[in-house]
Amino acid sequence: MASEREDFSLSGPLHLTSVDWESAHHRRSVAASLVQSVYILERDRQEKREPPNALAPPWWEFFNFQLLRNLVDDADFSIFGAIYEFKPRVSSSNDSLDRSPRYVIAFRGTLSKPDSLARDLELDLHLIQNGLHRTSRFEIAMQAVRNVVAAVGDSNVWLAGHSLGSAMAMLAGKTMAKTGIFVESFLFNPPFFSAPIERIKDKRVKHGIRFATSVITAGLTLAMKTNNNERSGAAEDPFAAMSAWVPSLFVNPADHICSEYIGYFEHRNKMEEIGAGVIERLATQNSLGGLLMNAMGKKVEVEPLHLIASANLTINLTPSEDFKQAHGIHQWWSPDLQLRSTLYKYK
């Protein structure tokens, strides 16, 4: 049986009868709706809902998008992503269309339904272990991103995802950014796995822990770089290559899965203010756990996913009833959110 949240007429952003592509609220709402449509595509498949009974189409048709292709996992054949093409109904001289995407590649998160749960949890485990890049699902996603960007250019493409899907989109965006290709990205509740420092209420204690961690991390980073670059001189800054990529991150402080991004970026600014920017620039490129593993001879293939250079961080300050609401995708198209947005650029 379909839930109310799957029905666009009951739960969708019906207030967006005309999209202003210059509006951050409209752009966020459309991106979130397209991510939601991927969830419902998979639910339609599981429930064998075919047109005209399928519930997914209104979530993209309302905004004049067409579904080009489903992205299907090769292990359980579940739909984990989709590629959409923007098709305005009439020609318009509206300048805001210049900010609209031609294509959107969206990825869903974990579905708590038997037909896809086992595979989704397997991907979640890979994510926690920093091994998402080795999965066949990500390989399928990455190839789709490369193909679309190669065909139409990075400026015409959006990436969007929620939770596990946000991690997929972030990893794809980071991979492209390291080659000088910057794809606009909308990352809803992106996972950040670390000690839950952000949940500490005392700001002085919280800053003290982050400061000590930064000093230790920077020290280990410098020591390892010195050992690895004795003959070649100073190592290049790995963040410099992707610093021009500024994904939009949407987090809720009541969601412990993504809330650490708040402290991650605020602490970076705080360190600059107290004159410790050099320490933080070293620390922010590495995780303490990864450095310790390298020091013990257990080489880490890639840096943890949450380590990103720049971001436009939007925090939903609207009170949440519970974790489910704080982590949900539906919050991001509500018309009356209390939001705080801050641009963080890597220096």
Question: Percent of the chain scored above 70 by pLDDT?
Answer: 76
Contact in structure between 56 and 2 (CB atoms under 8 Å): no
Residues with Cβ within 8 Å of 276's Cβ and at least 6 positions away in sequence, in order, are 211, 214
Give the predicted TM-score (pTM) of the model: 0.86
Cis bond leading into 52, ω under 30°? Answer: yes
C-alpha to C-alpha distance for 110 and 19, rounded to whole angstroms: 29
pLDDT in tens, 146-203: 999 999 999 999 999 999 999 999 999 999 999 999 999 999 999 997 766 666 666 6
pLDDT band at 7 (very low <50, low <70, confident <90, very high): very high
Cα separation of 289 and 226, whole Å?
A: 19
Instruction: Name, in order, each residue with C-beta under 8 angstroms of 238's C-beta and a sequence gap of 6 or more.
Output: 285, 303
| Confidence at residue 299, expressed as pLDDT on a 0 to 100 scale | 55
Which of 125, 171, 190, 122 shows the shortest CA–CA distance to 329? 190
Q: Which residue has the tokens 């005309």?
A: 18
Task: Give the separation between CA 227 and CA 222, rounded to whole angstroms.
Answer: 9
Instruction: Classify strands 311-316 and 339-344 as parallel, antiparallel or unpaired.
Output: antiparallel
Q: For position 233, what pLDDT does the model report?
A: 43
How would residue 2 be classed by pLDDT, with cut points 50, 70 and 90? confident
| Amino acid making up residue 75 | A
Mean per-residue pLDDT, 47-51: 95
- If 0-12 CB within 10 Å is exposed, 13-18 middle and 19+ buried, where does residue 226 land? exposed
| pLDDT at residue 230, as a whole number | 45
| CA pair distance 75, 121, nearest whole angstrom | 13
**The token pair that represents 9 in the structure block:** 């007429």
| 110's tokens | 């974990």
State the distance between the two ends of the chain, measured CA to CA, in whole angstroms: 51
* Model pLDDT for residues 64-111, shown as the tens digit of each residue: 999 999 999 999 999 999 999 999 876 555 667 888 999 999 999 999
* Domain parsing of the chain, residue ranges: 4-188
Residues 6+ away with beta carbon under 8 Å from 112:
none
List pLDDT tens digits, range 321-341: 999 999 999 999 999 999 999
Closest CA to 164 of 134, 116, 120: 120
Per-residue burial over 110-147, b = 16 or more CB atoms within 10 Å of its CB, e = otherwise: bbeeeebeebbeebbebbeebebbebebbebbbebbee
